[in-house]
Structure 1
Amino acid sequence: MNCVRLCFVLSCLWLSSSAADPDDPLLVELPQGKLRGRDNGNYYSYESIPYAEPPIGDLRFEAPQAYAQKWTDTFDATQPPVVCLQWDQFTQGDNKLAGEEDCLTVSIYRPKNSSRKSFPVVAHIHGGAFMFGAAAQNGHENVMREGKFILVKISYRLGPLGFASTGDADLPGNYGLKDQRLALQWIKQHIACFGGEPENILLVGHSAGGASVHLQMLREDFSQLAKAAISFSGNALDPWVVLQGGRGRAFELGRIVGCGLAADSAALKKCLKSKTASEIVTAVRSFLIFSYVPFAPFGPVVEPLDAPEPFLTQDPRDVIKSGKFGQVPWAVTYVTEDGGYNAALLLEDANKSGKTLLEELNDRWFDWAPYLLFYRDSKKTIKEMDDYSRKIRQEYVGDLPFSTQNYWELQQLFTDILFKNSTQDALDLHRTYGSSPAYAFVYDNPADRGIAQFLTKRRDINFGTVHGDDYFLIFENVVRDAQLRPDEERISRNFINMLADFALSDKGTLTFGECVFQDNVGSEKFNLLAIDRNGCENKQYAEFP
């Protein structure tokens, strides 16, 4: 840490102690000026603090620039963060446009806990397939009730505004990931001003947020920004994360919004900057073949080496094999039926015909499966694609038609291909090429109402433990029951304590309740902590169950 930065951190520590003055506990001073937060009873909040210049006008489709404006008046930090502009799967009706283009902020939540003068920090990256979602959609009441750590929620660009890429230096993509990284740098530099401990930062995320955590960790200097990381139900190796075929989609995006057949990437970028953000994001609907499929038409890509400020220039597998990534303790997780989020969409009515999409899948499998399972752009020929489609269908349902009777097998197909298999692959690479602890858990405890029931409005199907049934016990979400069962309340507290203890641990030890996670680095078998309503148990497997 250089002298200037050390002095700044020390000044923040002084400012945070003065901000805790009972006469005015909500006033915080930053280099930009003073801001005022809100008293929420058992915690303070400081919301919608800009960490980057607004990514509008000439700054659209560019790497984010650090916020440099000065406040002459006290900044109002009492307004909840806005939703970044998106085509939102969870917005009802045909028009799913939501949010604003100017959205790059962090929101900070500090518990009132007289036993601590400073707190460990959990930085949070929300999920949403890199296409939708928002910081405010993940609640913080459970966390603040426990009062163990400061929570910081990060907002970042989504969909085409965050991830459109032509695969060259003119429009390289990954703007949303670059936003996240700049936010982490902001947190590291300024969190002491809010009573946070910059040396004790844990980065967590779920789904695309979990994949983002892993991608951030693949930066070699990540250990300078965070002490440890957890990827819940999402990692960089999931087939829906690092996409191929981005160039074709970027030029198709231009055609849809009226850029015609742009001569090159520079011309396309110039034209896209001239369009309204709403036009660009609304174009997402043209990339969906039905419902919200594929759920991630725009996402992270491998950038060319000559890209300005590149974030990712190698396939994540190659980065891990090189050993040149952030060597910090990491945990990666999945739930037993993660794929229920994806499979449940097929229970929708197909064009209000009374026939479900699941039934329609029998005639459209070879057309839809490459989009549903994200291998359309990775196969070299139609024959190769069809052969793979035929193989996986045979493996999971054999010669049976798709129906509600064998829905469970289809859901398991989605779980394995989109989540579980790549979780095992990621852990395998880290245990082989990593030097810091690598942990894993599997969660099996179904919510009474989770994301599958929310999407389908059906209670007649056993969905099992679906995507988010664990994570939303920590950070509340409208897609699952707000009222927790007694077993879920206990698990929620254990999860929250797990995060706090991981952020504080000097040895990188990870615990859940009475269970201590076993490290996978150097282990011949996979060490997997199984968590259910009855407790937790360390188990070893040659292959994930």
Structure 2
Amino acid sequence: MRLALVLALLSASSVFTTASDQSVQTSSGLLNGVRTKVSNLGYVRQFLGVPYAQSPIGQLRFAPPFALGEDAASRRLDSSRHGPSCYQPPHMKEVISEILDTDSEEMSEDCLTLNVYVPEVKVTDRLPVIVWLPGEGFDYAMARHFDGSYLALQGKVIVVTVNYRVSAFGFLSALTADAPGNVGLLDQRMALKWVKRNVAHFGGNPGKVTLMGRFTGSMSASIHLASPIKERLFEKVVLQSGIAVGDYVFDSAPLNVTSKLAHAVGCHRDSVADMVSCLQGVPAAELLNNSLRTGLSFRPIFDGELIVEEPMAAVKKGRHQAVDVIIGTNQHEGSLCLLTLQHLQSNFYNRLVKDQLTIEDLDEMVRYHVHDFTKNEHEALAKLVLHEYRYQHAKEGLRSQYVHFCGDMYIAAQAEQMARLLSQHKRGSVYLYQFAHRPSFSAQPDFLGAAHGDDVLFSMGLVFKQRHITKQEALLSKRMSLSLGSFALKSNPSLVDDLNWPEYNQESQH
């Protein structure tokens, strides 16, 4: 039985910035941050838009990140506002939530920055650290969407949110040294190295770093968890709605999409080196627009260094980092499929919402998603899946069958399998949860409960951006933040009072 997080108290909060600046010396320079009041919760020191690597422009486009020079420490930086996001398609607010900070459209290739949120709390020891990786598909990742102030204060942790390259800029591969692929993942590792080197200057403990992400941010964290690279950059992991698995995530023939993009922008050349050189000179907006126009998808690859096999396969063999792990999902992760259908303006979406699906509709959609996930026409698998979900959820109707199928295939099944494999090796504690509360402010159709991404809004305290939430929701968010803080500090998410969260095991399946 999964641990059901249904709790509930506190009052809604807002954030505003005071004029009191704060300064911290780091390897990036002397940072001038701001002291921010989070309503009645307290104060947080924010250091925003902090560069953690050299600008990946010109010949560094598509290349692994380069560390800042030693002279960077001597400069003085205004860290009072977010840096631009990395180039990516227009963001769909409904994919995550309307309450996130999506007002800024500022984008740049000079985007390798992070944001540090330091709570003003009374503690005797250095604070644990949570490094947050955003990600909604390997085309989207904006750190500014996720204000770390609430989690920092309520969890008594330092929160670091990371910008990294996405889309073609982060995952294009020509299988060459100057365009090897996976550079978005390497950006994340560079940010983790920055945290290890600098977080003590903020009062943080570099020996207590938790890597946390949602969807493709979580998939990225699962890749780092299973990577054979020995350098230890984190001690704990929180995976929310995403494990990197299958052809849906990994591209086994990356030169195909790279070549198609080169053709689209007039960079087809006889040699791969000349093609990459040409692509490095194409204006960023043109490169992004053409990748969108042609429908190209740039994804992680097996590079033989960072990624040698799928995370699930590595964990099955015990070839993973010995760390403590929380794995979480939402009750109706299949809501992500509904949003996709809505975005594609599919007729299936209207029939789903009206609960007018036919068995022929379900059959066609199952085949579509099985092909999307496996990148192959698996006729026998599609038939097996259709039979399984029609039988398992027969009383709930075709709409429910579709939602459960989608959520299980893309997210929930991998989450439970990963928890099972990790617990077998006993190289760290494993905790599993399913978030089951439908937010009072949810914009999802009424037939859905907790949708994809809802747990993040509560665990990070972002619900306090809402003007009106219930007392139960305020307490739920507070308890989830406290639980994450407890996990970051002592590897146990259980709270002192009445939340006893047992470790996952195959018998109890908590």
Indicate the residue corresponding to 1:197 in structure 2: 205
**Residues 1-21 of structure 1: per-residue CA shift (max 9 Å, x gap):** xxxxxxxxxxxxxxxxxxxxx
**How is 1:10-49 mapped onto 2 (pairs within 5 angstroms)?**
26-41=22-37, 42-49=43-50
SS at match of 2:111: coil
Indicate the residue corresponding to 1:532 in structure 2: none
The Cα of 1:137 is off from its aligned counterpart by 0.3
Of 469, 491, 502, the residue aligned with 1:484 is 469
Q: From the superposition, tell whether residues 287 and 355 of structure 1 become closer, same or farther in structure 2 (CA, over 3 Å).
A: farther
The Cα of 1:249 is off from its aligned counterpart by 1.8
Q: From the superposition, tell whether residues 240 and 495 of structure 1 become closer, same or farther in structure 2 (CA, over 3 Å).
A: farther
The Cα of 1:40 is off from its aligned counterpart by 1.1
Farther off after superposition, 310-319 or 409-418: 310-319
Indicate the residue corresponding to 2:8 in structure 1: none
SS at match of 1:519: coil
**Residues 70-117 of structure 1: per-residue CA shift (max 9 Å, x gap):** 26552111121321110134179xxx9862111101111111124456
Indicate the residue corresponding to 1:467 in structure 2: 452
In 2, Cα distance between equivalents of 1:160 and 1:478:
32
In 1, Cα distance between equivalents of 2:493 and 2:461:
23
In 1, Cα distance between equivalents of 2:405 and 2:349:
25
Indicate the residue corresponding to 1:54 in structure 2: 55
Indicate the residue corresponding to 1:13 in structure 2: none
The Cα of 1:135 is off from its aligned counterpart by 0.6
In 2, Cα distance between equivalents of 1:468 and 1:485:
19
Of 310, 313, 321, the residue aligned with 1:318 is 313
Residues 170 and 184 in structure 2, CA contact (< 8 A), matched pair in contact too = yes
SS at match of 1:406: helix
Of 160, 177, 180, the residue aligned with 2:188 is 180
Q: From the superposition, tell whether residues 147 and 318 of structure 1 become closer, same or farther in structure 2 (CA, over 3 Å).
A: closer
| Pair 1:297-2:297 in alignment | yes
| Pair 1:509-2:502 in alignment | no
Indicate the residue corresponding to 1:65 in structure 2: 66
TM-score under structure 2 length normalisation: 0.82
Q: From the superposition, tell whether residues 187 and 354 of structure 1 become closer, same or farther in structure 2 (CA, over 3 Å).
A: closer
Indicate the residue corresponding to 1:538 in structure 2: none
Q: Which runs of 5+ in 2 are unaligned?
A: 1-18, 38-42, 95-103
Of 118, 138, 141, the residue aligned with 2:146 is 138
Of 394, 418, 421, the residue aligned with 1:426 is 418
In 2, Cα distance between equivalents of 1:114 and 1:228:
24
Amino acid corresponding to residue 410 of structure 1 in structure 2: Y
In 2, Cα distance between equivalents of 1:353 and 1:473:
31
Residues 336 and 443 in structure 1, CA contact (< 8 A), matched pair in contact too = yes
**Residues 198-228 of structure 1: per-residue CA shift (max 9 Å, x gap):** 1121111111111122111123467732221
Residues 55 and 111 in structure 2, CA contact (< 8 A), matched pair in contact too = yes
| Pair 1:519-2:503 in alignment | yes
Identical columns (%): 23
| Pair 1:448-2:440 in alignment | yes
Residues 171 and 265 in structure 1, CA contact (< 8 A), matched pair in contact too = no
SS at match of 2:200: helix
- Using CA pairs under 8 Å that are at least 6 residues apart, name the structure with larger relative contact order, 1 or 2: 2
| Pair 1:155-2:148 in alignment | no
Amino acid corresponding to residue 33 of structure 1 in structure 2: G
Indicate the residue corresponding to 1:498 in structure 2: 483
Indicate the residue corresponding to 1:329 in structure 2: 324
The Cα of 1:44 is off from its aligned counterpart by 0.9
SS at match of 2:313: helix
Residues 54 and 102 in structure 1, CA contact (< 8 A), matched pair in contact too = yes
In 2, Cα distance between equivalents of 1:416 and 1:250:
31
SS at match of 1:420: helix
In 1, Cα distance between equivalents of 2:366 and 2:373:
8
**Residues 164-198 of structure 1: per-residue CA shift (max 9 Å, x gap):** 22456664311111000110011011001111111
Q: Aligned pairs, how many? A: 471
Q: From the superposition, tell whether residues 53 and 168 of structure 1 become closer, same or farther in structure 2 (CA, over 3 Å).
A: closer
SS at match of 2:509: strand
**Residues 268-289 of structure 1: per-residue CA shift (max 9 Å, x gap):** 322211211112211232354x
Q: Which runs of 5+ in 1 are unaligned?
A: 1-22, 289-295, 399-403, 454-458, 529-545
Indicate the residue corresponding to 2:12 in structure 1: none
Amino acid corresponding to residue 511 of structure 1 in structure 2: S
**Residues 146-179 of structure 1: per-residue CA shift (max 9 Å, x gap):** 2611111111001111112245666431111100
Residues 46 and 77 in structure 1, CA contact (< 8 A), matched pair in contact too = yes
**Residues 423-445 of structure 1: per-residue CA shift (max 9 Å, x gap):** 12212221233521222111111
Amino acid corresponding to residue 308 of structure 2 in structure 1: T
Residues 155 and 486 in structure 2, CA contact (< 8 A), matched pair in contact too = no
| Pair 1:281-2:273 in alignment | no
SS at match of 1:431: helix
Of 375, 378, 391, the residue aligned with 1:385 is 378
SS at match of 1:516: coil
Farther off after superposition, 221-230 or 491-500: 221-230
Q: From the superposition, tell whether residues 115 and 234 of structure 1 become closer, same or farther in structure 2 (CA, over 3 Å).
A: same
Residues 155 and 481 in structure 2, CA contact (< 8 A), matched pair in contact too = no
In 2, Cα distance between equivalents of 1:25 and 1:78:
8
Indicate the residue corresponding to 1:79 in structure 2: 81
RMSD: 3.5
Indicate the residue corresponding to 2:10 in structure 1: none
